[in-house]
Structure 1
Amino acid sequence: MTISIPTSKIKTTNSNITVQNVWEAKRLISSVVKKTPLIYSKAISKQFGAEIYLKYEHLHESGAFKFRGAVNAIYQLTDEEKSIGVTTFSTGNHGFAVALAAKKLGIRSRICVSEHVPKAKIDAIKSLDAELEIFGNGQDDAEQRCYQLEKEQGLTVIPPFDHPHVIAGQGTIALEILEDLPSINCVIGGLSGGGLLSGIGLVMKNTNPDIGVIGVSMEKGAAMNASLKAGRPVSVVEEPSIADSLLGGIGENNQYTFNMVKQFVDQSYLIPEETIKKGMAYLYKEHRIVVEGAAAIGVGAILDNLIPVKKDSKVVIIVSGNNVDTPVHANSIKQYL
């Protein structure tokens, strides 16, 4: 299923998040968040007659792009807020990123996750001495618990996507891409809560409105895709997916990412589970990298011709993270090797 989203040419957002905010984020996080490589994929480029690159966001210390937004948000807290600590709700990657950023600052963190979060991500969070709380059947339940902790203990909530500093932090990915590939034609990334593509889309569309921004989600439980179709934020039922990082709602009171995705993302595609697994297998076979389903979904979509690739175009696919259980990865890819 494909949803085409009318893209505005206006260079600001209703939330007043600007490209300048992204540049400010880049300056602030540069001492902690290192630039990730942009890798040319020779095999897939040859297959489609285009230049296709992979942005290796799985190489962050936290194992996922979420580290950018988490560091930017936490490093801008007041001294009083730092003294009390932070909390967040997460499908795993953002929780780990917040826990890691908090540990680097020596502040308390309490991470709330749902029962759907894989063991690898839970173990990773525990390894940082963060307080971990498993609560409810989905991210919406974990979110409610976070705001309860905010009221009861004064912890500052660092949302996984719908927050100006988080969005600006993720937008630094686009600055790096443009530095390495100024002539880019299209960027493809996972679409869940929308923080990733809100930040990237903001930068890309302000640089050149003709740069395509494409979102990909799993077929079932894609909250942003359902919300775009409905014309407003809606809740969806979460179902198990190999792309578990893309699970979770966007919040019925969404303040930023829903409108930014409508403004800056051109199309949204729903991708079958088997296609996602093919992407994981391809990246392991051709690039020798082990990544989670959400990181491979864009590659799988292109391989199965679910996203059209124009000949001679320059396309960047965001490889978003590597936090996947080893048995899950092995079982997912074995039939495609």
Structure 2
Amino acid sequence: MINRATPQSAVTLHDIYLARARIAGQAVRTPLVKSVSLSERFEAEVYLKLETLQPSGAFKLRGALNAIAALDEATLERGVTTASTGNHGRAVAWAASRLGARAIICVSGLVPANKVAAIEALGAEVRTVGRSQDDAFVEARRLVAEEGMTLIEPFDDPLIVAGQGTIGLELMEDVPELDRVLIGLSGGGLLGGIGRAVRGINPRVRVTGVSMMYGAAMIESLANGHPVEVEEVETLADSLGGGIGLDNRCTWSLVREVMSDHHQVSERAIAAAMVHFLEVEKMLVEGAAVVGLAALEEHAIDIRGEKVALIVSGNGVDMATWQRARGMTDT
């Protein structure tokens, strides 16, 4: 088992294979489908990794299952908690219900109502605290200190990183000659895990991170040379919100190691990508799931002749957010 107290270098390719064995039969091996429209548009082979088809609706289920399945019975009985912008909370609720643990999910007031409802539908208690994920974390840590619950980190945990890294194993098995993968970047668990996996198998794969234009904590932290706080702002890519923790011990250094390049995208570009996914790919997905396409379009990234994967990370979009995105493309 991964030692949670060790640095990120302990998250090895072997650990990711162990995670795959641990979550087998619960998390889905999601399909990787070729987009005909995007392949023609960019003169490349463009594939969509459909994490929207996980039982919880997003990739977060992999890491949550890996972390909760590693707990002993006595710890499970005391319950689990976390702070979340939505998808991680839903994943923890789903995994806890399957493994027989009570779950309390702490969220901020910025989390959309549809994501709160989805968490509650899985039997977890939701507590709304403050206006940022950092505020929600205060309550989660109180539950750990005062009620003995176990904190399931959204991203900054080797077990979470290893769980998300199983996506990378599937990518390399399905497209062994993969040239590039574009991944939404927030706390770094998804990019760090996938990056560790794909570059552990083939160091030549380019790992491209994508963030929204404002409130991108990981990018600000990398630019400053250490974790920093940023103000959270409303964005179509709400799943990419939140800080990385001033005491970050895992993902900040891992992202710095495995990420090849990075792009920030505007709200208008995210909106246009969401509209493309619904109208052309016939998929209703959240803003964070389309930032890879937004980056290809807005930054004119030259991928001609490449085999490229876009991580379609989740489907947690409400109609108000979708209508806001549609409105941006109509002006």
* Fold shared by both chains (TM-score > 0.5): yes
Distance, in Å, in 2 between the alignment partners of 1:164 and 1:316 is 24
Q: Which residue of 2 aligns with 1:315?
A: 308
Amino acid at match of 1:315: V
Amino acid at match of 1:312: G
Structure 2 counterpart of 1:198, from 187, 192, 195: 192
Q: Which residue of 1 aligns with 2:78?
A: 84
Asked whether the 8 Å contact 1:190–1:216 carries over to 2, the reply is yes
Q: Which residue of 2 aligns with 1:160?
A: 154
Asked whether the 8 Å contact 1:281–1:334 carries over to 2, the reply is no
**What per-residue deviation string (whole Å, max 9, x for no partner) do you get for residues 19-51 of structure 1?**
111001101111101111101111111111111
Structure 1 residue 129 displacement after superposition: 1.7
**What per-residue deviation string (whole Å, max 9, x for no partner) do you get for residues 54-96 of structure 1?**
1001111111000000011001101111010000000000000
Distance, in Å, in 2 between the alignment partners of 1:52 and 1:334 is 27
Q: Which residue of 1 aligns with 2:322?
A: 329
SS at match of 1:287: coil
Structure 1 residue 335 displacement after superposition: 5.6
Structure 1 residues 319 and 14, CA gap change in structure 2 (3 angstroms): closer
Amino acid at match of 1:33: A
Distance, in Å, in 2 between the alignment partners of 1:288 and 1:335 is 19
Q: Using the TM superposition, name which of 141-150 and 160-169 deviates more.
A: 141-150
Q: How many residues align?
A: 325
1:141 aligns with 2:138: no
**What per-residue deviation string (whole Å, max 9, x for no partner) do you get for residues 94-150 of structure 1?**
000000100111210000000100011000011112111001110111112111110
1:268 aligns with 2:262: yes
Asked whether the 8 Å contact 1:83–1:107 carries over to 2, the reply is yes
Equivalent residue runs for 1:1-337 within 5 Å: 14-304=8-298, 306=299, 308-333=301-326, 336=329
Asked whether the 8 Å contact 2:106–2:127 carries over to 1, the reply is yes
Distance, in Å, in 2 between the alignment partners of 1:186 and 1:307 is 15
Q: Using the TM superposition, name which of 108-117 and 326-335 deviates more.
A: 326-335
Asked whether the 8 Å contact 2:92–2:103 carries over to 1, the reply is yes
SS at match of 2:280: helix
Moved over 3 A (4+): 334-337
TM-score w.r.t. structure 1 length? 0.94
Asked whether the 8 Å contact 1:66–1:93 carries over to 2, the reply is yes
Asked whether the 8 Å contact 1:58–1:320 carries over to 2, the reply is yes
Structure 1 residue 322 displacement after superposition: 0.5
Distance, in Å, in 1 between the alignment partners of 2:56 and 2:140 is 21
Distance, in Å, in 2 between the alignment partners of 1:309 and 1:298 is 13
Amino acid at match of 1:153: E
RMSD of aligned C-alpha atoms? Answer: 1.4
Larger RCO (CA within 8 A; separation ≥ 6): 1
Distance, in Å, in 2 between the alignment partners of 1:135 and 1:326 is 24
Distance, in Å, in 1 between the alignment partners of 2:162 and 2:296 is 28
**What per-residue deviation string (whole Å, max 9, x for no partner) do you get for residues 134-187 of structure 1?**
011101111121111100000000000000111000000001111110000000
Gaps of at least 5 residues in structure 1 are 1-12
Q: Using the TM superposition, name which of 250-259 and 144-153 deviates more.
A: 144-153
Distance, in Å, in 2 between the alignment partners of 1:165 and 1:72 is 6
Structure 1 residue 336 displacement after superposition: 3.9
Amino acid at match of 2:86: G
Asked whether the 8 Å contact 1:189–1:196 carries over to 2, the reply is yes
Amino acid at match of 1:316: A
